[in-house]
Amino acid sequence: MAPPPLIDAAGRVALVTGAAGGIGRATVAMFRSAGANVVAMDIDAARLPEQSAALVGVVADAADEQSVRSAVRRAIERFGRLDFAVAAAGAAGGGPLADTSLADWKRLLDVNLTSAFLLARACHPHLQRPGGAMVMIGSSNGRNGGSQFSGAAYAVAKAGLINLARYLAKEWAPEGLRVNSVAPGPVATPMLERFSAAQHALLKDAIPLKRYAEASEIAAAIGYLCSQHAASMTGACINVSGGLVLD
Domains of the chain: 13-237 (3.40.50.720)
pLDDT at 196: 78
154 assigned to active site: yes
- Is the pLDDT score of 213 beyond 70? yes
pLDDT at 179: 98
pLDDT at 2: 57
Q: Where are the beta strands (DSSP E) in the chain?
A: 13-17, 37-42, 55-59, 84-87, 133-137, 178-184, 237-240
- pLDDT (tens digit, 9 = 90+) per residue, 171-203? 999 999 999 999 998 887 777 777 778 887 887
- Is the pLDDT score of 5 beyond 70? no
| Between 244 and 14, residue with greater pLDDT | 14
- Is the pLDDT score of 88 beyond 70? yes
Long-range contact list for 57-64, CB < 8 A, 24+ apart?
Answer: 57/19, 62/17, 62/18, 62/87, 62/89, 62/111, 62/115, 62/118, 62/119, 63/89, 63/110, 63/111, 63/114, 63/115, 63/118, 64/118
- pLDDT (tens digit, 9 = 90+) per residue, 96-125? 999 999 999 999 999 999 999 999 999 999
Chain mean pLDDT for the chain: 93
- pLDDT (tens digit, 9 = 90+) per residue, 119-136? 999 999 999 999 999 999
Among 154, 167, 212, 224, the active-site one is 154
- pLDDT (tens digit, 9 = 90+) per residue, 135-167? 999 999 899 888 877 889 999 999 999 999 999
Average pLDDT for 12-27? 96
**pTM to 2 decimal places:** 0.93
DSSP state, 47? Answer: G
Amino acid at 119: L
| Between 148 and 170, residue with greater pLDDT | 170
- Is the pLDDT score of 26 beyond 90? yes
Cα distances (Å, whole numbers) of residue 20 to 64, 204, 244: 17, 25, 26
Tell me whether residue 47 is exposed, middle or buried, using C-beta atoms within 10 angstroms of its C-beta: 0 to 12, 13 to 18, 19 or more: middle
